[in-house]
Amino acid sequence: MPKGVKKQHLPSKNCITCGLPFSWRKKWEKNWENVKYCSQKCRTNKTKPV
């Protein structure tokens, strides 16, 4: 991800547990394809997909 990208232009996904959209974060840079959950809470409650 190049420097200077505005927040509205960052890629986003929908969480598979809660269905809410979440944006790209620097810590997910190397494995953005594998990120499925927006938070640790959604990761632990993954038995209730939307």
User: Tell me, what DSSP letter sits at residue 44?
Assistant: H
Residues in the chain, overall count: 50
Residue ranges per domain, the chain?
Answer: 7-44
Q: Return the percentage of the chain with pLDDT > 90, whole number.
A: 66
Distance from C-alpha of 24 to C-alpha of 31, rounded to nearest angstrom: 11
pTM of the model: 0.72
Q: pLDDT at residue 5 above 90?
A: no
Distance from C-alpha of 40 to C-alpha of 48, rounded to nearest angstrom: 14
Give me the DSSP letters along 4-43.
T--GGGS-EEE-TTT--EEE--GGGGGGGGG---SSHHHH
Residue 8 confidence class, pLDDT cut points 50, 70, 90 = confident
Residue 1 confidence class, pLDDT cut points 50, 70, 90 = low
